[in-house]
Structure 1
Amino acid sequence: MPVTRKALVVAAAVGTLTLAGASAAEADSSRCTVDSGCAGRATFASYGEVFTVYDQNADGHSAVALYWLPDGSGPHLIWNSDGNGTSVTANLEFPEGDWVTYRVCLGEFGPRQVLTETCGAAITDYA
């Protein structure tokens, strides 16, 4: 293999490992509702244990994040009923290294009804 090509392969491998390491160390994540337009989205920032719930579609529904904690409690709900283009932030407090499992759905805020057929896949992240 020519030296130049070998250098490019090594650089690509190092870049891939660096990116993988960065995402694992930060342990931040994001999930959407099942619709193709991601009408509801939730992000979790490990540093500070912060959820942000986004309403990204003028569909008349609220976005809601459901989460579970290691103590067996949940689902806890974080509602964004402020309408399309808005976000709601919830700053949680739990020990470093603890996990949180969450998913995002659409719902009806008034009766606090989660539309389970809209829920995206669950993900587990860590503080």
Structure 2
Amino acid sequence: MRVKRRALLVAGIAGALTMAGASAAEADSSRCTVDAGCAGRATFASYGEVFTVYDQSADGHSAVALYWLPDGSGPHMIWNSGGNGTSVTANLEFPEGAWVTYRVCLGEGGPKEVLINTCGAALTDYA
């Protein structure tokens, strides 16, 4: 009986350590626009608080990431007006453990007009 308890305790500790490692890895995320082809995509890397916005379609629109911060500010915007196959990276700075909520949309790069009907679902991630 004592051996079984010890085995369960060791398994529980190993599981907890695995989950702790997994939570840090899960902080990296990606979102797309609502279209089936994912014309615009953004990734967020928690280490360094780095967004990358990808334009993945030759549709004449820019890809834009909109994000909000815990201080209530936003939406802040990261525009990629470079055309199909390009990406733009933004290296942000906010405290470890802070949240960021973001979504990805298409827009008109010249007037900086976001096409709200193209925005994908919002996602909250952590630094």
TM-score tier, shorter chain, comes to: 0.7 to 0.9
Number of aligned pairs? 112
Shift of 1:23: 4.5
Question: Of the two, which has the highest radius of gyration?
Answer: 2
The residue correspondences of 1:29-48 to structure 2 (distance < 5 A) are: 29-48=29-48
Q: In the TM superposition, what is the alpha-carbon distance from 1:119 to its structure 2 partner?
A: 0.2
Equivalent-residue separation in structure 2 for 1:56 and 1:68 (angstroms): 23
Unaligned 5+ segments in structure 2 are 1-13
- Alignment partners' CA distance in 1, 2:114 and 2:71: 23
Task: Kindly report the root-mean-square deviation, in angstroms, between the aligned alpha carbons of the 2 structures.
Answer: 1.8
SS in 2 for 1:79: strand
Residue 24 (structure 1) shift: 2.0
Distance of aligned partners of 1:23 and 1:37 in 2 relative to their CA distance in 1, 3 Å threshold? farther
1:93 aligns with 2:93: yes
| Structure 1 equivalent of residue 72 of structure 2 | 72
Within 5 A, what are the aligned runs for 1:97-116?
97-116=97-116
What is the TM-score normalised by the length of structure 2?
0.83
Which ranges in structure 1 are unaligned for 5 or more consecutive residues? 1-13
**What residue is the counterpart of 1:5 in the other structure?**
none
**Post-superposition, which runs of at least 4 consecutive aligned residues in structure 1 deviate over 3 A?**
20-23
Task: Give the C-alpha shift of residue 37 in structure 1.
Answer: 0.2
